[in-house]
């Protein structure tokens, strides 16, 4: 028989914030509501500490809560509780399975029609990273190995193999077409990128303006429409976009052979925010991402967002340059 820790609470009707807070924490730690009466977790020292903390939170909020440690009296009761845990996790696993199926279907359809683009591979890899994170989060609260987990792992493996095949193809093409450009050939140009800019396009525009083309003018296009007199970046079919594992900012650094340790530090941050793969594990990611998100929501204008973004990246560059000088 399994050993369980049970939380029974009565939160006052005039404490909705406390109710939501406790519910979110119980869900986060994988507790299930059994028989609409009691929250249950398998007993461990860690779960006991968690439930005790939540119990205290409820009491400190002016409501009532009790904690019990118990064992089931029969096997069927154990199975019923475990089934509740399975249902919670399987629901989440199935949701991720559907995302995997959608990505695989998208790739198959594009293979049969217009072919696979680097942009599509990049978007699918980003989605895969989200799936992997989601699967990892569920696994942490999947205490009894829910049945749908195995199917999800199979789907993830299939998606990984498909993307690996197309990534290798993309990397071979890059080695053939890639070259180092001369900055002198890119003076006083018009540059175009997609509307509703975010981290990679803001950072890339800043890099262009500060290190490649000081007289650069920027325009923003809907979808992938490229004006004939403009140089595209971070757009499908352009040279200056995602290549292999690199975001557009990293592509620019390599394309123009910009050897600057401060720029490399910024490139790592931009990469981690844009691709969400935590490749470099930069601690600045969360803060900068929140700032850019807040500015985009506040300004709702790409030109104004570029202006503010340039100030941010100027400050970042100054900081990393100063740090390098001191070291």
List the chain domain ranges: 3-71, 78-177, 183-326
Longest dimension (CA), the chain: 81
172: which residues sit within 8 A by CB, 6+ positions away? none
Which pLDDT belongs to residue 180? 75
Class of domain 78-177: mainly alpha
Per-residue tokens: 230: 């403009």
Residues of the chain with pLDDT under 50: 170-177
Spell out the alpha helix ranges (H) of the chain: 16-28, 45-60, 75-112, 118-141, 148-177, 199-207, 248-255, 261-275, 285-299, 302-326
Q: What's the CA gap between 82 and 145, in Å, rounded?
A: 10
pLDDT at 115: 66
| b/e sequence 104-128, b meaning 16+ C-beta within 10 Å | beebeebeeeeebbbbbbbebbebb
Instruction: Report d(CA 100, CA 86) in Å as an integer.
Output: 20
pLDDT for the residue numbered 112 = 74
pLDDT at 172: 41
CATH number belonging to domain 3-71: 3.30.70.240
The whole model's pTM is what? 0.56
Closest C-alpha to 229, from 191, 199, 193, 195? 191
Measured distance CA(78)–CA(90) in Å, rounded: 18
204 vs 57: CA distance, rounded Å: 47
Instruction: Compute how many other C-beta atoms are within 10 angstroms of the C-beta atom of residue 45.
Output: 7
Q: Which tens digits make up the pLDDT trace of 79-122?
A: 999 999 999 999 999 999 999 999 999 888 887 776 666 667 77
| pLDDT score recorded for residue 327 | 53
The C-alpha atoms of residue 82 and residue 89 are separated, in whole angstroms, by 11
């Amino acid at each position: 028989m399994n050993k369980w820790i049970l939380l029974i609470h009565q939160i006052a009707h005039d404490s909705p914030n406390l109710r939501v807070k406790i519910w979110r924490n119980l869900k986060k730690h994988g507790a299930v509501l059994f028989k609409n009466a009691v929250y249950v977790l398998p007993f461990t020292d860690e779960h006991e500490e968690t439930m005790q903390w939540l119990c205290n939170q409820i009491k400190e909020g002016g409501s009532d809560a009790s904690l019990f440690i118990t064992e089931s009296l029969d096997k069927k009761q154990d199975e019923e509780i475990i089934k509740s845990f399975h249902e919670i996790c399987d629901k989440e696993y199935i949701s991720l399975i559907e995302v995997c199926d959608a990505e695989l279907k998208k790739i198959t359809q594009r293979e049969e029609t217009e072919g696979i683009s680097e942009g599509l591979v990049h978007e699918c890899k980003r989605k895969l990273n989200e799936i992997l994170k989601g699967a990892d989060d569920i696994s942490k609260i999947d205490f009894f190995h829910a049945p749908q987990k195995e199917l999800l792992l199979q789907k993830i493996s299939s998606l990984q193999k498909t993307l690996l095949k197309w990534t290798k193809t993309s990397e071979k093409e890059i080695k053939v077409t890639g070259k180092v450009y001369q900055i002198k050939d890119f003076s006083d140009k018009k540059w175009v990128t997609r509307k509703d800019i975010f981290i990679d396009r803001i950072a890339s525009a800043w890099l262009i303006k500060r290190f490649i083309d000081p007289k650069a003018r920027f325009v923003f296009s809907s979808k992938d429409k490229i004006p004939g007199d403009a140089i595209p970046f971070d757009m499908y079919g352009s040279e200056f976009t995602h290549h292999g594992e690199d975001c557009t900012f990293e592509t620019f650094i390599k394309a123009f052979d910009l050897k600057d340790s401060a720029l490399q530090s910024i490139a790592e941050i931009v990469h981690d925010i844009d691709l969400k793969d935590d490749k470099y594990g930069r601690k600045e990611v969360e803060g900068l991402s929140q700032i850019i998100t807040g500015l985009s929501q506040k300004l709702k204008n790409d030109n104004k967002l570029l202006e503010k973004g340039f100030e941010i990246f100027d400050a970042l560059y100054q900081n990393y340059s100063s740090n390098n000088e001191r070291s």
